[in-house]
Structure 1
Amino acid sequence: MLLATVGSVAVATIYVGQPVLVQVGRDLGVPEANLGWIVAAGQVGYLIGLAGLVPLGDMFDRRRLIGGQLILAAVGMLVAAIAHSLWLLLVGLVAAGLFATVVQTTVAFAADLSPPAERGHTLGVVTSGVILGILGARVSAGGLAALWGWRSIYVTLAVLLVVLSIFVLKLLPADHRSDRRTYGEVIASLGRIFREPLFISRGLIAFFLFASFGTLWSGLALPLAADPWQLSPAQIGLFGIAGLAGALGAGRAGRWADAGRANAVTGTALGLLAASWMASGQATWSLWLLVVGVIVLDFAVQSVHVSNQTLLTAAYSHQTSSVIGGYMLFYSLGSALGATATTTVYSTSGWTGSAILGGSLALCGLLTWAISLRRPATRRRDVFADHGSVRVGATHDEG
C-alpha cells in the first residue's frame, strides 16, 4: 500500500493541471490552442526520465532512489507553484515529470518483492494506486483550485512528496544488489529489449492506449467549461470520480493475468476502449453518457495496462526496472500525443473531432493486439501464449 501511495502521488504531479487548464491559461495569458503544452510538459520530462533514470533501478538500492526522486519531484512542484510566466511553469512541470518516473521504479520494486504466482495481483494493486493518482488528481485539483487557486495544487503535492520520501526511507526494505552492472551495460540491455517482438507489441499497444486516454482527460475540460455546461474547475474535477470507479472495477485485472488470461483481457478491454468513445463523444449534450464513457474507458485502460506489465515483468524478471521504463516510454509518447492533439483538434473540429481521434487511437491499439497474435515465436527469449498462459524462456524448437 505504501508503494501504491507513492505511485499515486508521484503520477499526480503530471495530471493535476488538466481540470484547471482554462484557469491557468487565463492567468498566464496562454491561447486555448496551446493549453495542451502545459500537460505535455510533464510528459516530456517523464519521457526523458524513463530513458535516463528508470534503468538506475537495475543498478542501485531502489529504496534510496525512490526517496531521492520524491524530493526532487517536490522541487519541481514548488517551481511550478511560484511561476508567473509560461516558460517557468513549463520548467517546473518538466522537472517534476522527470522525477515522477519514480512511479516506474516503484512498480518494478513491487514486482520483484512479490512471489511470482502473485505478481499480477501485486502489480494490480500498485497500478491501481497509480490510476487513482491520475484520476484522483483531477478531483482534488478542482477542489483546491476553487478554494485557493491553481497554485495551491502544486504546493500541496510538494508537501505530500516530501512526507512520502520520509516514509519510504523509514519503512521500505533495503534493496541490496549482488550484481553491479555499469550504466552503459544497463542501457545496452534496454536497447536489446527494444528488438524483442513481445516488448514492441506491448509497447505499441500502450502507445495507442494512453494516447486515447490522454485525448479524453487532457481535452475534457474544454467542452465542459464551454456552453451549454460552463462548469467550474471543481465541477469538472468531479468527473474523475467516474474514472476512479472504472479503474477500481478493473482491480481484478492482475488476478486474471495470474490465471493466464492476459491476452484475452487485453483484446476485450481494447474493444471496450473503442466503444467508450461512442458515449464520451456525446459530452456536448449528455453528461450521463459522458459518465458512462469515462467509467468504461478507465476500466479498459487499467485492465490492459496491468496485463501488459504482468507479461513483461514475467518475461524479463532479471531487469524489471529497465523493461518497465522502456515500456513506459511508449506510454509517455502516447500521452503526450493525446494531450497536444486533442486541444488542437478541439480548436478546429470541436469535441466531435476529439472523440473521433480518441476512438481511432483505440482501434489502432486493438489492431496492434490482433496482429501480435499472429506473430510466430522465433526468438529464444519469447514469451509463449497458450490460451493466454505465460511460459518464459522456451527454446526455438518449442516455438
Structure 2
Amino acid sequence: MSPPTTPPGTRPGRGLVLLLAVAAGAAVGNLYWAQPLLEVIGRELDVPSGHAGWLVTATQLGYAVGILLIVPLGDVLDRRRLVPLLLTVSAVMLVGCAVAPTFPVLLAAVTLVGLTTVSGQVIAPLAGDLADPAERGRVVGTVTSGILTGILLSRTVSGLVAGAFGWRAIYVAAAVLALVLAVVTWRRLPVLPAKTHLPYPALLRSVFTVVAQERVVRWSLVLGALQFGLFTMFWTALTFLLSAPPYEYSEAAIGLFGLFGLAGAVAAQRSGRLHDRGWSLPAAGVGWVAVLASFVVAAVSGRHVVGVVVAIVLLDVAIQSLNILNQTRLFAVSHEARSRLNTAAITTNFLAGAVGSALTGPLWQAGGWTAVASAGAALSLVGLGVWAVGRRGALVGS
C-alpha cells in the first residue's frame, strides 16, 4: 500500500491528528519513567535518592543533544521515514534501561534514551506544516497536549507498573509501545517534500542563524527555558516531598499525582485557540502570574496534601498553556525553518530542565520543600519581568 500524500496547508483529519498526538506523547513520556521511581531505583542499585535524581538530569541532557543533532533533519528529510526510525532506535535503548545491572549503566542507558526519543519534536512541527494557518494553533495545541499528557501519564503509569511488577517492567512496556507506534506511523504518516536542501553542517549552523536573526525567537527561548526549568524543578522535588515524612507514599501513589496535572493538557489545547484569536501575548502574561501563584501556594502547603494538589493543578495549567503559546508563536516566524525553530526551543528548554532538576538536590538539602518553592517563586518573578519587558517587540505570530 502506498503511503498517503498530504500537501502542506491542508486540514489533517482527526484520526491523523490523534495519531500524531499519541506518538509524540509516547516518545516524550520516555523521559519521565524514572521520575517517581527515584527512591526505589536508588534502593535497588544502592545509591542515595539524591544521587538517583541524576537519572532525570542525564535523560534531559541526552534529550537536549538529540534535539540539537536530530530534529533539524525534519526540514530536509522525509518525516514518514524519520519518525518510525527514531521510534525503533529508542525502543532498543529502553530495553537497555530494563536490563541495566548497575547505576552507572542505567545512567548511560537513560542518557541514550533521551538522545534518541526525539520523534515527538519532529512530529510537532510536522503538525504545523499540515495545518491550515487559521487552525494551526488548534492542531499544534492538540499534538502538544498529547505530549503533555504523555509527560504526566508517564509518571502515573510508571508508578503503577513499578508497584505491581518492579521498576524494570515499565521500560519493557515502553519499548513494545514504541515498536507498535513505529509500524503505525510508517503506514499512516503522509509523505511531505523536503522544505530545504542543506548539507548537515550548514543545517546545524542555520539553527543558530535563525535565532540570531529574530528577536521574537530569542525572547521566546528565554521564556521557554524559564518555564521548563521551573516545571522540572517542581516535579523532581515533588517526588522527594511525597516519599519523605509526613507522607511516605509508595511509588505507585506518587505516580498517581501525575493525574492532577492532566488539567494542564486540557488547558494547553484551549490555549492554542487563544493564539488563533490573537490573544497570545496577554494570555502569556496571565500564565506567568499563575506560575508565580502556584509556587506561593506550594511554599505554604508542603505539609498539607490538598494544598500540594492545588499547586500541581495551577502550575501545570499555567506552564502547559505557556508552552503552547510559545511554540505556536515560534512556528509563525518561518514555514521553512519550523523544525529548526523547534530545535532551538526544545534544546533550550531541556538544558534548562536539566539545570532545574540538578538544582533541586542542593535546594532540597538546604531547606527542603520550602527552599525549592521559594526559589521557584523567585524565578517566576524573573519570567514575569522578561515577559513584560519583551512583549512590545514580540508581535510576530501573536
**TM-score using structure 2 length:** 0.93
Alignment partner, residue 364 of structure 1: 382
1:53 matched to 2:64: no
Contact 1:213 1:358 in 2 (8 A): no
1:63 maps to which of 63, 74, 80: 80
1:306 maps to which of 310, 314, 324: 324
Q: CA deviation at 1:302?
A: 1.1
1:209 matched to 2:227: yes
Alignment of 1:302-381 (within 5 A): 302-375=320-393
Contact 2:28 2:150 in 1 (8 A): yes
- Alpha-carbon distance between aligned partners in 1 of 2:154 and 2:380, rounded to the nearest angstrom: 24
1:94 maps to which of 111, 115, 119: 111
Cα deviations by residue, 1:309-358 (Å, 9 ceiling, x for unpaired): 11111111111101001111111011111111112211221110111122
Contact 1:247 1:295 in 2 (8 A): no
1:118 maps to which of 127, 131, 135: 135
Q: CA deviation at 1:91?
A: 1.4
Alignment partner, residue 293 of structure 1: 311
Root-mean-square deviation (CA), in Å? 1.4
- Alpha-carbon distance between aligned partners in 1 of 2:388 and 2:359, rounded to the nearest angstrom: 25
Unaligned runs of at least 5 residues, structure 2: 1-17
Q: CA deviation at 1:283?
A: 4.6
1:384 matched to 2:371: no
1:5 maps to which of 22, 32, 38: 22
**Alignment partner of 1:276: what SS?**
helix
Alignment of 1:17-56 (within 5 A): 17-56=34-73
Alignment partner, residue 154 of structure 2: 137
- Alpha-carbon distance between aligned partners in 2 of 1:262 and 1:178, rounded to the nearest angstrom: 27
Tell me which amino acid in the other structure corresponds to 1:288. V
Cα deviations by residue, 1:150-194 (Å, 9 ceiling, x for unpaired): 111111111100000000001111122264322133223212122
- Alpha-carbon distance between aligned partners in 1 of 2:303 and 2:380, rounded to the nearest angstrom: 23
Contact 2:237 2:360 in 1 (8 A): yes
Alignment partner, residue 13 of structure 2: none
Tell me which amino acid in the other structure corresponds to 2:372. S
- Alpha-carbon distance between aligned partners in 2 of 1:106 and 1:374, rounded to the nearest angstrom: 31
- Alpha-carbon distance between aligned partners in 2 of 1:384 and 1:290, rounded to the nearest angstrom: 36
1:166 matched to 2:172: no
- Alpha-carbon distance between aligned partners in 2 of 1:267 and 1:250, rounded to the nearest angstrom: 15
Cα deviations by residue, 1:15-60 (Å, 9 ceiling, x for unpaired): 1111111001111111233222110111011111111111111110
Aligned-pair identity (%): 35
**TM-score using structure 1 length:** 0.92
Tell me which amino acid in the other structure corresponds to 1:257. H
Alignment partner, residue 193 of structure 1: 210
Are the structure 2 counterparts of residues 373 and 165 from structure 1 closer, same or farther at C-alpha, using a change threshold of 3 Å? same
Contact 1:4 1:126 in 2 (8 A): yes
4+ residue stretches of structure 1 with deviation over 3 A? Answer: none
- Alpha-carbon distance between aligned partners in 2 of 1:56 and 1:236, rounded to the nearest angstrom: 37
- Alpha-carbon distance between aligned partners in 1 of 2:77 and 2:392, rounded to the nearest angstrom: 38
Cα deviations by residue, 1:224-251 (Å, 9 ceiling, x for unpaired): 1111111011111111111012321332
1:250 matched to 2:261: no
